[in-house]
């Protein structure tokens, strides 16, 4: 057994950089290469694929990547673990075997199933429990070269290989928690190596093509996050902190293998592009498993009107009144109508584009006709009879189905977690005897505030980084700073009330602040800001990707000593 397990990542989402698998296999030493292809929206997409063809339901890109790279992985002794199986891991495993035979690469293929709970949730397009890494570990112990899974947690792609390699027991909670943290850092690919990084402009040219990350995992669960030498991007405490805060909530980060204590994580810059992750404590996992449910919510359409020059508000009022009059007189008016005026214009503009504003109309209905033909007729018939300069960015289409995501929870013992080994043996993965009900930790003590001194009105992003993302209909915004002095200011300045003031869209929503002193970070969870999830497209930024950057752009009184 090697003292270090090198686990790399080659995909952060379905559609990520195609040549990343080859780059990771050729760029340096690896033991395991993982790929994360699933997200809440992806499961909806795969569900619609499966409706058209029951033999599908998996990430087809993965197969095309393997066609180029399977022989290379075998030659270099790198095992591949991916959740690309989606809704049909058995089908993908068969396809991988067929591919291996066709290209002449002897490959042991295993898969994990049991996450599909569609029979228990009538009316759901997809219903999948989030499984842990124990099934992956059994597949690797059984000699698999390639393991494909359905819906496992993103971190399970790392906890499974680590548990198999080091022989960890199900109750080695601290070690497993360390692997969960490493897995969470790797799961989004180049977001750990400078992608989408708040301080990107301080690294000119370095982030042109970030390399994908890897973790050197040790037997005690600690790890070093790094990347292959010579690849772009960077790995430092800031990039790792940003990804560690992404799509999390409180200090207890619950999963099916273990609950990792994010408040115990320590990050240390060990050298260029090397960040050591240590100190992680773990606790028994919760007694329930999360289930992601996707269903079709109805049909959606939109029209974007372009308003140019003078009298923008009056032009918007006119076309809005005309459309609402037409829809009100229709036999089948849309059930939901939403207008948003986005002021992108400026006075005395030097170009037509900068003199124009966008008026966005979004309609929804359980049926297609009210958002298709009814809307099309109402919008297009105004072409010669509305505001001066009337035009739209594109004519409205027929209307497209949209999805709705929600989370449910089931008892662990009610889910059959099965590892199907390369020889066809079906191994039922035990759930583990010990569980612990998830509870919020008490807020830790805050640092002493900075002494009063001169301040300057400036964007908070001059001092603080941020990263935001979605979890169903909720969003999180992780905010961190890079010095102890800045932490003494941020911890007291950015309260829940101040957060709501700075982001007025959250004023009437539940906002909960979580304090993570080891990371000099605050994590805000905003309930309901994304409606019924990304697929419902209830908001201009449906995955809350820019929410943190909006916060960073807001002006506050910052101590001059920090600027």
Instruction: List pLDDT tens digits, range 241-287.
Output: 999 999 999 999 999 999 999 999 999 999 999 999 999 999 999 99
Q: Per-residue pLDDT tens for 308-350?
A: 999 999 999 999 999 999 998 877 889 999 999 999 999 999 9
Q: Per-residue pLDDT tens for 457-509?
A: 999 999 999 999 999 999 999 999 999 999 999 999 999 999 999 999 999 99
Residue 55 burial by CB count (10 A; 0-12/13-18/19+): exposed, middle or buried? exposed
Q: Per-residue pLDDT tens for 50-76?
A: 999 999 999 999 999 999 999 999 999
Average pLDDT value for residue range 409-414: 95
Average pLDDT value for residue range 397-422: 94
pLDDT in the model for residue 425: 97
Residue with tokens 């050298």: 271
* Long-range contacts (CB closer than 8 Å, 24 or more residues apart) made by 165-168: 165/1, 165/2, 165/5, 165/31, 165/140, 165/217, 166/1, 166/5, 166/219, 167/1
The pLDDT > 90 percentage for the chain reads 93
Confidence grade of residue 162 (pLDDT, cut at 50, 70, 90): very high
404 alpha carbon, distance to own chain's centre: 16
Q: At what angle do helices 89-103 and 60-76 cross, to 10 degrees?
A: 50
Q: Per-residue pLDDT tens for 400-411?
A: 999 999 999 999
User: Considering the chain, what is the average pLDDT of its residues?
Assistant: 96
pLDDT in the model for residue 301: 93
Q: Per-residue pLDDT tens for 345-382?
A: 999 999 999 999 999 999 999 999 999 988 988 999 99
Please state the φ and ψ torsions of residue 88, each to the nearest 5 degrees.
-145, 65
pLDDT in the model for residue 396: 86
Q: Of 1-10, 410-419, 523-532, where does mean pLDDT reach its minimum?
A: 1-10
Instruction: Answer yes or no: is pLDDT of 158 > 70.
Output: yes
Average pLDDT value for residue range 293-305: 94
Average pLDDT value for residue range 206-234: 97
pLDDT in the model for residue 6: 98
Could you tell me if 547 and 295 are in contact, meaning their C-beta atoms sit under 8 angstroms apart? no
Q: At what angle do helices 312-328 and 373-380 cross, to 10 degrees?
A: 140
Average pLDDT value for residue range 446-460: 97
Q: Per-residue pLDDT tens for 28-53?
A: 999 999 999 999 999 999 999 999 99
pLDDT in the model for residue 2: 67
Compute the radius of gyration of the chain from its Cα atoms: 25
Could you tell me if 159 and 133 are in contact, meaning their C-beta atoms sit under 8 angstroms apart? yes
Instruction: Answer yes or no: is pLDDT of 194 > 90.
Output: yes
Average pLDDT value for residue range 222-248: 97
Instruction: Answer yes or no: is pLDDT of 84 > 90.
Output: yes
- By three-state DSSP, how is residue 256 classified? coil
């Amino acid at each position: 057994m090697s003292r270090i397990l090198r686990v790399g990542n080659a995909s952060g989402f379905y559609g990520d950089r195609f040549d990343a698998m080859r780059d990771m296999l050729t760029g340096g030493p690896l033991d395991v290469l993982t790929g994360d292809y699933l997200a809440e929206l992806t499961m909806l997409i795969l569900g619609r694929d499966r409706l058209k063809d029951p033999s599908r339901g998996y990430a087809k890109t993965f197969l095309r990547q393997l066609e180029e790279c399977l022989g290379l992985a075998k030659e270099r002794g790198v095992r591949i673990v991916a959740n690309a199986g989606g809704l049909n891991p058995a089908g993908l495993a068969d396809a991988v075997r067929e591919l291996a035979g066709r290209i002449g690469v002897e490959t042991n293929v295993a898969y994990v199933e049991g996450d599909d709970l569609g029979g228990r949730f009538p009316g759901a397009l997809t219903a999948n429990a989030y499984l842990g890494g124990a099934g992956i570990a059994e597949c690797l112990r059984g000699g698999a070269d390639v393991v494909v899974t359905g819906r496992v947690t993103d971190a399970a792609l790392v906890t499974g290989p680590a548990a198999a390699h080091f022989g960890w027991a199900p109750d080695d909670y601290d070690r497993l928690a360390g692997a969960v943290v490493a897995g969470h850092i790797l799961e989004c690919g180049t977001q750990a190596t400078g992608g989408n990084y708040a301080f990107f402009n301080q690294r000119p040219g370095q982030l042109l093509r970030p390399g994908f990350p890897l973790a050197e995992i040790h037997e005690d669960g600690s790890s070093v996050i790094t990347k292959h030498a010579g690849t772009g991007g960077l790995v430092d405490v800031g990039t790792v902190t940003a990804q560690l805060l992404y799509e999390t909530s409180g200090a207890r980060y619950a999963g099916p293998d273990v609950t990792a204590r994010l408040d115990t994580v320590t990050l240390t810059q060990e050298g260029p592009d090397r960040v050591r992750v240590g100190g992680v404590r773990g606790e028994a996992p919760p007694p329930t498993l999360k289930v992601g449910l996707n269903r079709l919510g109805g049909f959606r359409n939109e029209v974007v009107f372009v308003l140019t020059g003078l009298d923008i508000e009056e032009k918007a009022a006119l076309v809005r009144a005309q459309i609402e009059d037409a829809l009100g007189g229709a036999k089948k008016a849309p059930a939901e109508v939403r207008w948003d005026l986005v002021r992108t214009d400026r006075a005395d503009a030097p170009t037509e584009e900068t003199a124009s504003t966008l008026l966005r109309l979004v309609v929804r209905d359980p049926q297609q006709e009210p958002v298709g033909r009814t809307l099309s007729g109402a919008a297009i018939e105004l072409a010669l009879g509305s505001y001066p300069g009337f035009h739209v960015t594109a004519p409205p289409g027929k209307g497209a189905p949209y999805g709705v995501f929600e989370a449910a929870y089931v008892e662990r013992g009610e889910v059959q977690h099965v590892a199907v080994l390369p020889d066809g043996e079906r191994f039922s993965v035990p759930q583990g005897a010990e569980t612990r009900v998830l509870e919020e930790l008490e807020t830790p003590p805050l640092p002493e505030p900075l002494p009063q001194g001169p301040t300057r009105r400036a964007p908070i992003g001059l001092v603080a980084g941020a990263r935001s993302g979605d979890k169903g209909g909720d969003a999180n915004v992780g905010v961190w700073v890079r010095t102890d002095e800045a932490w003494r200011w941020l911890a007291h300045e950015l309260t829940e009330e101040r957060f709501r003031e700075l982001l007025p869209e959250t004023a009437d929503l539940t906002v909960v602040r979580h304090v993570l002193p080891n990371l000099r970070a605050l994590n805000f969870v905003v309930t309901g800001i994304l409606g019924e999830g990304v697929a419902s497209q209830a908001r201009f930024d449906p995955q809350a990707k820019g929410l943190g950057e909006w916060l960073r752009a807001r002006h506050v009184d910052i101590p001059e000593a920090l600027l």
